[in-house]
Chains A and B, each alone.
Chain A
Amino acid sequence: MFHTLTWVIWLVAAAVPAFTLRNPLYQVLILGASWIVYLALGRTSPVGRSWGTFVRIGVMFVAVAVVFNALSSHYGTIILFRLPQAWPIVGGPITLEAAIAGAVNGLGLLTILVVFATFNAVVDHYQLLRATPAFAFQVGTVISIAITFVPQMVLSATEIRQAQRIRGHRFRGIRDLLPLVMPLLATSLERAIQLAETMEARGFATVLHPDSLESTHRRALLAQAGLLAALLGLLAGLFLLTFVAGGTIWGLGLLILSIAGMGIVLWGQGQQVRRSRYRRVRWRSHDTLVAIACGITLAAVIAGKLATPQMMTYSPYPPNSLLPPFNPYVGAALLLLALPAVRWQVSTSESEQTTEPEGIQP
C-alpha cells in the first residue's frame, strides 16, 4: 500500500481545490478522480463500506440546496414560475439561475464529503495515528483507544444480544433493551478499568524523569503558560488586523510572533517524548510519484487562482453566463488526483507475476 504521508498529501491536494474552486466542472473532475481512487483502493477496507452512505448524504445535500436556494433567492432573469408575493420568504419569482446556484453549492458539499470519505476508505487508521506529531502523543493514544473501543463494544453488544435471545428474550421495543444495556455497561466499565491498569503499569502519563519531580511540574506549567500566551497573541493579532485601522503591520507582526512561540512550545513538549518505531513503513518510488503529482495539482490550482481568478469560480446570475468557465490546464491537473489508483493497478498487475514482498520491513 501507499505510505500514510502520501495519503495525507493526497488529501491536501484534493481538499484544497474542493474547498476553494466553486465551479461545477472542476468539482465533477475531483469527484471522478476520488471515485476511481475509492474503486481501486478503498473497497476492500471495512470503513470503505461507508463511502456509499457519504455519497447518499451528499446527493441529499444537493437536492436540499436546490430547493432551498430556488425558494429563497429570487434573483435572475429566467423565471420558471411565480409564487405570490404575499408569502413570507418563498414569495416571488422562482428562477432557473437560483436553482442552478443551489445545485452548485450542493455539489461543492458533495465534493468535500466524497474527498474525505475516499481518504477515510483508503488510509490505514492505525498508521495515521502513529504519524501524529510527538507533542500530541497523549491525544493520539486516546484516539487510538477510542477507535479500538468502538468495534469491541459492537462485538460485545452482539454477543450479549445473542446470549439473551438464547435465554428466550425478545427485543421488540425500547423497554426490551434494558437487558442489553446493563451488561454492556458492565463489560465496558470492566474493560475500561482493565485498560487503565494496563496503561498505568506501562507508565502512561507518569513523570519521565523521576529524579526531578519538581522541575517536571514546573516545565509543564511553563509550557501551558507559553501556549496560553501564544494563543492570546494570536487572538490579539487577528483583532488588530481585522478591526483596528492602521494596525495591519502590528497585527501581522504579532501573528508571526505568536505562531513562532507556539511552535517553540510544542517542539519543546515533543522533545519530552521519546518514541521508537517498531514496524516502519517504507517510502517507495510510487509514493514519490504520487506526492509529485499531488504537488503539481496543488501548484496548478494555486496558479490558476492567481492568474485567472474569474475562470476558477462560477456564478450563474446575470450578467454572467449560465455556462461555467473552464481552464483546461487546471482540469488536467485535477485528473492527476486519480494517479494512485492507476499506479496501484499497474503495480498489482506486475506483482501478479513476481509476487512482490510486503511493503513493511521489520
Chain B
Amino acid sequence: MNAGLNGPGRSFLRIPAGWARPRMRACLVWLILMAALLVPGLASAGEPNRAGLVVQFADGHAETICIEFEEDEITGSDLLIRSGLEAVVDPSSGLGIIVCRLEGQGCDYPAEACFCQCSGSGPCAYWNYFYREPGQDSWTYAALGALRHKARPGSVDAWVWGDGSTLPAAELTFEVVCPSPTPAATQFVTSTPQEPVPPVTAVTSAPTPEPTQTQPVEPPASLPTPTPKGPDISSYWLFGGLVLILAFAGVVVWLRTKE
C-alpha cells in the first residue's frame, strides 16, 4: 500500500476492509460448498445408465439383474437396494455394510451373528463381494465395501456365497447381464453342475426407471419385505401397560421418599 496514505482516507479504507474480509471468506467457503453440491447434480442428464448385478448361491446357480440409474455412478449398496432383492445387511460397524443374507441364503442377522458360518475354526462361508469394471476380463475381489465401491455404467457387481475362493462365473460379462439396449429389467438364471434349472430369460416390463424383478413364483409388484419381520402390534399394548405400571410405581416411590 501507499505509505503516504493517512488521515481520514486511511480510516475510510480500513474499516470496510476489516469488516469485509471475514464476510468474503465465508462467501468463498459457501461458494465452494455450493459447487460441491451442484457439480454431481449437473452432470446427470441423458439416457439412463445401466450396471449389472450377479448373485451366486451356494448350490452354484446365479441370478442376474440389470439395473438402471440416473446418476453417473451409484454405490454397490444402492445397486443392491434398487435390485429389489431381499438383502439383510449389518451396517453397524460404521465403516460400511456387511451383507449377511441375500434371498434367504446366509445368516439371520439381528438374531445371530452376521458371519454366523465363520465363527470358530473350520470352513467359512459368507457373501463375497466381487466387481468387474467396464471392459475388464476377470472378476476382482472388492477391497472396499459395497457402501464405498462405486458401480459405474457398464460395470457388474457380484455377490457370491462362499469362502472367498469361489469366483462368479467368468462368462457373466456386462453384455450377458444387460444384453439389449432396450431399457428393461432382465433376469435369467445360469446353471452350473447338476442344477437342472431351465434358463428363464428376458421378461420385459414397461420402461420404468425402477427395475422390476421378475420371478416365476412371485408377483413382481410385491415389496420384498418379509412379513414375519414386522412385529405384532398387539404386543405394544402390553408394553404400554408395563411402562404405565413402572411409571405409576416410580411416582408412588418418589412421593413417598420425598417426605
Contact = CB atoms under 8 A, between A and B. Distances in A.
Interface of A: 22, 25, 28-29, 32-33, 35-36, 39-40, 43, 68-69, 72-77, 84-87, 92, 98, 101, 105, 241-248, 309-315, 317-321, 323-328, 331-332, 335, 338, 341-342, 345
Contacts of A327: 235
A242 B121 contact: yes
A241 B246 contact: no
B249 interface: yes
B109 A245 contact: no
A76 B81 CA distance: 8
A43 B250 CA distance: 13
Nearest to B109: A315
B246 A29 contact: yes
Contacts of A314: 110
Contact of B246 (A22, A32, A86, A248): A32
A128 B219 CA distance: 64
Nearest to A341: B253
Interface of B: 36-37, 39-40, 75, 77, 81, 86-92, 94-95, 97, 108-112, 120-122, 147, 224-226, 229-233, 235-236, 238-239, 242-243, 245-247, 249-250, 252-254, 256-257
Contact of B122 (A84, A246, A331): A246
Given A39-B250, A68-B94, A335-B246, A345 B121 contact: no
A111 to B, nearest CB: 14
A72 B94 contact: yes
Nearest to B38: A84
B257 to A, nearest CB: 6
A105 B110 CA distance: 13
A248 B120 CA distance: 8
Contacts of A323: 230-231, 233, 236
Contacts of A243: 121
Contacts of B88: 317, 319-320
Given A39-B257, A338-B246, 9 more contacts: A32-B247, A40-B257, A84-B37, A246-B121, A315-B109, A323-B231, A326-B236, A326-B239, A342-B253
Nearest to A93: B78
A86 B231 contact: no
Contacts of B257: 39-40, 43
A317 to B, nearest CB: 6
Given A40-B257, A324-B231, A248 B121 contact: yes
Nearest to A312: B111
A242 B230 CA distance: 35
A73 B92 contact: yes
B250 A36 contact: yes
A302 B191 CA distance: 43
Given A320-B229, A323-B230, A36 B236 contact: no
Contacts of A315: 90, 92, 109-110
B121 to A, nearest CB: 5
Contacts of A39: 250, 253-254, 257
Contacts of B225: 318-319, 321
17 contacts: A35-B250, A87-B36, A98-B91, A105-B92, A241-B120, A243-B121, A246-B121, A246-B122, A315-B92, A319-B88, A319-B225, A319-B226, A326-B235, A326-B238, A328-B238, A328-B239, A338-B246
Contacts of A87: 36
A328 B242 CA distance: 9
A49 B86 CA distance: 50
Nearest to B33: A84
B236 to A, nearest CB: 7
Residue of B75, B81, B250, B254 contacting most chain A CB atoms (<10 Å): B250
B253 A36 contact: yes
B230 A36 contact: no
A321 B235 CA distance: 15
Nearest to B87: A319
B166 to A, nearest CB: 19
A345 B253 contact: yes
A275 B3 CA distance: 91
Given A246-B122, A319-B225, A326-B238, A32 B230 contact: no
A243 B122 CA distance: 8
